[in-house]
Structure 1
Amino acid sequence: MTNIEKVIIVEGRTDKLQIEKLIIENVKIICTNGTLGVERLEELLINYDLDNKDVFILVDEDSAGQKLRKQLSIELPHAEHIYIDKTFREVAATPESELAIALLNRRIKVNPIFLI
C-alpha cells in the first residue's frame, strides 16, 4: 500500500464521490457524516494519523458545515481549509470546474479535463 500523505475531510458520501472523480493523486477522503463526537474524532485522529498528514477540510457552506469546520479547526489546527462559493452551499452541488480549482489551489492534483 502506498503511503498517503494527504487527507481531505468531507461531510457526506456524495461529497466524497464528487471529489474522488476530480483528483488524480493518492488522497484519503474521510466522511464525517455530520458532526463528530469526541470519541469518533479521536478515532479518526489515531486511525489516520492526522497529526502527521496534510489535512484539508472541505465542508458545505451551511450552518452544519460551519459548525463542523469550527470543531475540526480546534482539533486539527494545522489543517488547511478549502472553501466553496456560498452560492452553491453544498460541496456536492458545486460545479466540477469550481471544485477542481479549489483543490488545485491547495496543491491537490486534479484531472485537467475538469479545469475547463
Structure 2
Amino acid sequence: MNEDRIVIVEGITDKKKLKKILDEEVEIICTHGTLGIERLEELLLEHNLDNRTVYILVDEDDSGNKLRKMLTSELPHADHIYIDKAFREVAATPEPELARALLSRHFKVKSIYLI
C-alpha cells in the first residue's frame, strides 16, 4: 500500500466502486456529502492530509462542486480527478471510464476495466 496517497470521495458507494477497480491498496475516505469546518479539521488531522498526496474525486453536481471547492481551499496541494459531467455521479460512471481517470493519475487498475 502506498501510505502516502489518499483519495477523498463523497459516499460509500463511490468508495466501493473505486476499491472494485483499483489493483492496489489505497486509502479512500468518505466525506458523506458536504463537510462542516469541524469535520474537515478532524479529517485533516486524523489522516495527516497536509503531508500526503491527496486526490479528490467527487460528483459533478452542485454538492460535489461545493465539496471540491471547500477541500481545495484547505488542501491546495490536492490533485483533482474528474469524471465526465454526463455521468454526474462517481457511482454512476462506467468502470472503464473511471479506470482511465485513475490510470491518468498513475493508480494501478484491474486490466479487466481497461477495455
Structure 1: state its 5+ residue gaps: none
Q: CA deviation at 1:71?
A: 0.3
SS of the residue corresponding to residue 109 of structure 1 reads: coil
* 1:68 partner amino acid: L
* 2:27 partner amino acid: K
Return closer, same or farther for 1:3/1:81 CA change in 2, 3 Å cut-off: closer
* 2:39 partner amino acid: R
Scaled by the length of structure 1, what TM-score is found? 0.96
Task: Give the equivalent residue in structure 2 for 1:67.
Answer: 66
Query: 1:5, 1:25 → 2: CA distance?
Result: 13
Task: Give the equivalent residue in structure 2 for 1:24.
Answer: 23
CA-atom RMSD in angstroms: 1.0
Q: CA deviation at 1:3?
A: 6.1
* 1:112 partner amino acid: S
8 Å contact kept, 2:2–2:26: no
Q: CA deviation at 1:108?
A: 1.1
Q: CA deviation at 1:102?
A: 0.1
Task: Give the equivalent residue in structure 1 for 2:10.
Answer: 11
8 Å contact kept, 2:6–2:55: yes
SS of the residue corresponding to residue 29 of structure 1 reads: strand
* 2:4 partner amino acid: E
Count residues with an aligned counterpart.
115
Query: 1:106, 1:24 → 2: CA distance?
Result: 14
Query: 1:57, 1:3 → 2: CA distance?
Result: 16
Aligned residue runs from structure 1 range 1-116, under 5 A: 4-116=3-115
Query: 2:50, 2:26 → 1: CA distance?
Result: 16
Percent identity for Structure 1 against Structure 2: 64
8 Å contact kept, 2:100–2:114: yes
Scaled by the length of structure 2, what TM-score is found? 0.97
Q: CA deviation at 1:34?
A: 0.6
Query: 2:2, 2:44 → 1: CA distance?
Result: 16
SS of the residue corresponding to residue 90 of structure 1 reads: coil
